[in-house]
Amino acid sequence: MDLTQISIFFSIVALVLGLLLSSLLMLRKGKTLAFKLLTANLLLISLFIGYSLVLKAGLLYLIPHAFKIPVTLIILLGPLSFLIIRALVSNETKFLKTDLLHFLPFVLYFLELLLFFLHSKEYKLNIIQSLGRTDLISLIEYEVGFFPNIFHSVLIQLSNIIYVIAGIFVYISAKNNKLTYIENDPKNKFALTIILIKSSSLILTFIAILVHHINAGVSELMMNISLSAMIFTLAIMLFKNPDYLYGDNFSFILSKNQQILNTEKALVRSNLMAMTNSSIEANVFLSTNCKVIYYNNLAEKRIKLVLNAQVAVGDDFRKYLQPEVLSSFNDAFEQAIIGHLISFEIQQSIGYNDFVEWFQISLIPVYDYQNNLMGISFKAINIDRIKKIEFNNQTYIKKLEAIAWQEAHILRAPIANLIGLSRLLKKNTDHSKRPLFISQIYQEVERLSKNINEITNSSNQILIEQIKPHPVEDLIKDSK
């Protein structure tokens, strides 16, 4: 691959990159004046590169009316670069009416060539055929206007020199203003980059014009390098500072999203740690074919306690279930696989001293962000203490109901008898019967006292059973 082919390759890459950057800048949110001008500048450079490729391929005859028009636009690069630099360092937001004067050389140049532009297609085709394969410098120097061809070259170069110098003065002036200039402001660095690439391009173009009559191939190569280098340098600056391409708040939004992502990651990590170290829930994450993907510390301890086995990732979880649990688990797992959240309570032997405890089992289907089933979350919570408390509460209530019944029925009879004997004793005037009444009253009092003592003892026994420590607490402590 020779230098010409390499030049063409890089020109094509620069053309595509220039059009891409222009499109991104046009879609940019919150477009400022500087980046509107930069978009126009990139489009012009891309146009010149594309036009240069058309000339190199000898295809200008397909678009004869484009002859000389892109060359005329070259004179716009100087003013545009200057206005971009000024807008960047001065934070300008509006295009001033006086700025239109910067485009006066272009208007004069265009008017000077207007008669040529109005010529027929055939006239231009004859010129194109006489030139054959040509390049940008040859088109610049081709004499078609009122002035000699050297005038066009001098006008373009003079315009570029003036505006590069003007851009440098604007930058230096802004830099010397300590009140507004910020040393590390990316926009100021961007303005300096534009000055440097514009200066380099000016030097390369000047050399290309000088050597054109000696070696047109080298001259053309230098022009292509000049245009492509501008595109590549601007691309590096734009992608290095995404705010330039996507809007002034892009970095802030990106940073905010990164903060949110980091917070979510920290929350997930915290939840995972809490799940791993949970002393309440035994957690096992299962694949859709019931293989162990993850288990927490409590699940590992429980399986070791119940079956004296070591759980491992990749094992079939069903082999760690006792026969009294397996049937219920299989039914629940089938329901969970089709999307149902299943929860049930079951008694299970805990593996020592023939103790049986209550567990609440939950099987929860887990989905990814695309709603695809990832697996089943198995959770087992020891609810034995709760169940025994519920049972004791029910027993307590029944005993209270029995006491209430005793108060309502057993105590009623001796009290009614005492009231009746008291009335008889009060009405009876025969003193010989008084000892009999007193003896019967004493018997009823004894009977009443006995019933009251029985009720009191029953109440005390219920109270003692409610406040004494529950043996299940010791079992839970032993199992951890």
* Mean pLDDT, residues 33-48 taken together: 86
C-alpha 399/C-alpha 458 separation (Å) is 8
Which pairing describes strands 373-382 and 356-367: parallel, antiparallel, or unpaired? Answer: antiparallel
Question: Which of 3.40.50.960, 3.40.50.300, 1.10.3720.10, 3.30.450.20 is the CATH number of 277-382?
Answer: 3.30.450.20
Q: Are 135 and 52 in contact (CB under 8 A)?
A: yes
Fold of the domain built from segment(s) 3-240: Rhopdopsin 7-helix transmembrane proteins (1.20.1070)
Task: Write the burial class of residue 46 (CB in 10 Å: 0-12 exposed, 13-18 middle, 19+ buried).
Answer: buried
Helices 149-176 and 186-211: angle between axes, nearest 10 degrees: 160
pLDDT at 10: 82
In the structure, what pLDDT confidence band is assigned to residue 291 with cuts at 50, 70 and 90?
very high
Q: Where are the domains of the chain?
A: 3-240, 277-382, 387-479
Q: How far apart are CA 144 and CA 121, in angstroms?
A: 15
318-367 pLDDT, tens digit each: 888 877 788 888 899 999 999 899 888 887 766 555 667 788 889 999 88
103-107, 161-165, 244-248: least confident range: 244-248
Report residue 198's pLDDT band, with 50, 70 and 90 as the boundaries: confident
Asked whether the CA dihedral 272, 274, 277, 280 is positive or negative, the reply is negative
Q: Which residues, in sequence order, are bridge partners of residue 285? A: 294, 377
CA distances from 180 to 10, 89, 146, 245 (A): 40, 9, 47, 24
Same fold, 3-240 and 277-382: no
Residue with tokens 């630099």: 85
Radius of gyration of the chain measured on its C-alpha atoms: 48
- pLDDT tens for 223-267 read 878 888 888 888 888 877 766 666 555 445 555 666 766 666 666
